Homo-oligomer: A and B are copies of this chain.
C-alpha cells in the first residue's frame, strides 16, 4: 500500500503564516536585499516553524535555470578519477551546484545513455571524460548539444569544446626518455586503447623519445588492453611471449602498471630489477606499492578544478571564447625503474 506522503510545505503557506504576500516570501528565499530586516526575520521564523524546504526543482523549472551539473567519468575505481572528482566537487560546491555523477566504464552505449539522462534532468552543463572509442553517433550528438559541455582528460578531436587535460606527449616523452637513459632499448607500451587521444598522444611522446635517441620504433611492442590491473597483467604476458621481448614497460597509467608489476611478480621476477616499469598519473598508491612506482604526475585534482571552473564560466557566458588548458606533467622517479 503506497501511502500518500505528507506533502511539502509551500511558499504560499509560509507567506500566509507570516502574513506577507507570496511574492515577498519568494524574494526572501532568494536573498533579495529589498526587504526590510523586520519582515525578513518574521518570514524566516515562519519557515523554521513550518519546516519549510525550498523547492529548487520547481524554482529551476520556472526560471529556466539549473542548479545541477553532470560529471561523466570512465572509471570511479581508478584513483585518478576519484581525485578529479574531488577537484570538481570543490569548485562547483562553491558556486552552489550539485553534481550528478555517472560512470561509463568506457562503454559508448553507457555514455550515450548517461548523456540523455543528464539532459532529461536539466543539468546546467556537463563535464565529460569521453570513452576511448566514442561512436560517430555520439560525437555528432555532442556537436549539436546545446548546453555547456567541457571535455576533460581525453579530447574528441572532431568536437570544438573547452578542454582541460595534461600534455600526455611530453609526459610520455619524459617517461620513455628516462627508461632510455637507464639503458633500455626495447620498451613496450602497454595498455589503453589506440582510439583515444590520450593513447595517441602518449604514443607520439614515446616515438619522439626514441627518435631523439636514434632508436627504431617497433610497433609490435605497442600492446593495447583494458585500462585496469587485469588489462595490465594480460598485456605484460603478451609482451613476454614476444620473440624479442622488451626489457622495460611504459604503461598507459598507474593502474595498468600495477597489473604489469603483479604479472612480473607472478612469473617469479622482480619489477625494477628484471624489468623496468613506468606508470602514468602518480596516484597515491604509486608511492606505497612494491617496488614504489616510477610515474608521471598528471595532477588529477587540478584537472577537476579547472574543468569545473571552465564549466562555470561557460554557463555564465555561453558565448565566451573556447579555452583549452593543458597542464605540464612531472616525472617522479622511484623504485620500479
Binding site for B on A (CB under 8 A): 1-3, 5-7, 51, 53-58, 60-61, 64, 67-68, 76-77, 79, 82-83, 85-86, 89, 98-103, 116-117, 119-122, 144, 146-147, 229, 258, 261-262, 284-285, 288-292, 316-319
In terms of DSSP, what is the predominant structure of the interface of chain A?
Answer: mixed
Q: Do residues B77 and A86 form an inter-chain contact, with CB atoms below 8 A?
A: yes
Q: Which 4 A-B pairs have the closest CB atoms?
A: A290-B290, A285-B285, A56-B120, A101-B101
How far is B3's CA from A317's CA once the two chains are assembled, in angstroms? 8
Q: Do residues A318 and B3 form an inter-chain contact, with CB atoms below 8 A?
A: yes
Q: Do residues A120 and B53 form an inter-chain contact, with CB atoms below 8 A?
A: yes
How far is B285's CA from A61's CA once the two chains are assembled, in angstroms? 45
Nearest CB in chain B: distance from A139 CB, A? 16
Q: Do residues B86 and A82 form an inter-chain contact, with CB atoms below 8 A?
A: no
Nearest CB in chain B: distance from A9 CB, A? 11
Q: Do residues B68 and A76 form an inter-chain contact, with CB atoms below 8 A?
A: no
Task: Indicate which residue in B67, B86, B116, B229 contacts A284 across the interface (CB closer than 8 Å).
Answer: B229
How far is B114's CA from A89's CA once the two chains are assembled, in angstroms? 12
Q: B residues within 8 A CB of A316? A: 2
Do A5 and B288 form a contact, CB below 8 Å, given A61-B57, A82-B77, A119-B53?
no
* Chain B minimum-CB-distance residue to A144: B51
Nearest CB in chain B: distance from A233 CB, A? 12
Task: Indicate which residue in B53, B76, B291 contacts A82 across the interface (CB closer than 8 Å).
Answer: B76
* Chain B minimum-CB-distance residue to A78: B82
* Chain B minimum-CB-distance residue to A4: B64
How far is B65's CA from A2's CA once the two chains are assembled, in angstroms? 12
Most buried by B among A5, A82, A258: A82
Q: Do residues A57 and B319 form an inter-chain contact, with CB atoms below 8 A?
A: no
Q: Do residues A55 and B120 form an inter-chain contact, with CB atoms below 8 A?
A: yes
Task: Indicate which residue in B1, B5, B120, B289 contacts A285 across the interface (CB closer than 8 Å).
Answer: B289
A sample of 28 cross-chain residue pairs with beta-carbon separation below 8 angstroms, ordered by A number, consists of A1-B319, A3-B318, A53-B119, A54-B120, A55-B120, A56-B120, A56-B121, A57-B57, A57-B60, A57-B120, A67-B121, A68-B100, A68-B121, A76-B82, A76-B89, A77-B86, A79-B79, A82-B82, A89-B101, A98-B117, A99-B100, A100-B101, A229-B284, A258-B288, A262-B288, A285-B285, A288-B289, A290-B290
